[in-house]
Amino acid sequence: MNASPTMGKDRQGSMVGKTVVMTGATSGLGAVAAETLARRGAKVVVVARDAARGARTMARLTAANPNVTHRLHLGDLSRLTDMKRVGAEIAEAEPIVHVLANNAGAMFKARQITEDGLERTFATNHMAYLVLTLGLKASLEAAGGARVVNTASAAHRGQRFNPADMQSLKNYSGPFAYGRSKLYNILFTRELARRWAGTGVTVNCFHPGVVATRFGDDSGGWLALLARAVKTFAITPEQGAQTLIYLAASRKVAGITGEYFDRCAVIEARPSARDDAAAAALFTASMKLAGLPD
């Protein structure tokens, strides 16, 4: 895994002629990043659950760059069938994808089980990344230098991969399950970078900071109150989006893969997030849960 000592704050890379697929683009830092990349010339393909918010996002993207046709695909990130369907739809419509930004995330007060039998935080924050990314593999490889950017978090601190309890069955709490899912984002990034070495596709992740967005507002009860209190000290979505934009557009990160970034620089994740045996085990187990060949 590589890091360049010359990396800086170059966020001005042109995106003309490039296609960006993004989840979590209807609000917060994702909306800022999507509109910024559109203004730089990108065609932005948005995956969203809510049709009304998706339509508003399409209007903003068209205003930012009316020279291309941006697209919206509706799907629930917590449902494996939706992510497989959306991945197949995008792959058919977009034979070349230059950037995939897995940015959507959620935190839930109570433990919920999806129709696939998965804990909802695990399904939304981790499995959606894996299923959508693998569904777009051919389109990413066809770009000849594509990038996968995964939104992780410093919330992975204090978390460990436990193969016997991957989905927070024991002693569930919303923040704990969220932090564990962010650990999984980093482990997934490392393992996918290893597996895709030589394909021309780089895979990196980043900590956006504590950002004042809608995140946590719908969690309910004390968790929503806590989220609002924390955001009193948060940075703006514009600030939080900078590393995502940097990883998607900057020439300075071309060829860098498998790394964890903060404020547009490579930093070292916690040891539990640099455990390659855990990364491989998580990937294999997740593929089995998704019904995909490892």
In order of start, what are the domains of the chain with their CATH numbers?
A: 19-105+116-208+237-288 (3.40.50.720)
Nearest-angstrom CA–CA distance, 110 and 171: 11
Nearest-angstrom CA–CA distance, 47 and 183: 23
Nearest-angstrom CA–CA distance, 52 and 252: 37
Kindly provide the b/e burial profile for residues 219-231, where b requires at least 16 CB atoms within 10 angstroms of the residue's own CB: beeebbebbeeeb
Identity of residue 117:
G
Residue 181 CB neighbours (<10 A): 28
Using DSSP's 3-state secondary structure scheme, residue 267 falls into strand
Average pLDDT over residues 58-82: 98
Nearest-angstrom CA–CA distance, 292 and 118: 15
Active site (catalytic) residues: 178
Instruction: Please provide residue 45's backbone torsions phi and psi, each rounded to the nearest 5 degrees.
Output: -110, 120
Dump pLDDT digits (tens) for 201-255. 999 999 998 765 555 555 555 455 555 555 555 688 899 999 999 999 999 999 9
Radius of gyration of the chain from its Cα atoms, rounded to whole angstroms: 17
Dump pLDDT digits (tens) for 107-157. 999 999 999 999 999 999 999 999 999 999 999 999 999 999 999 999 999
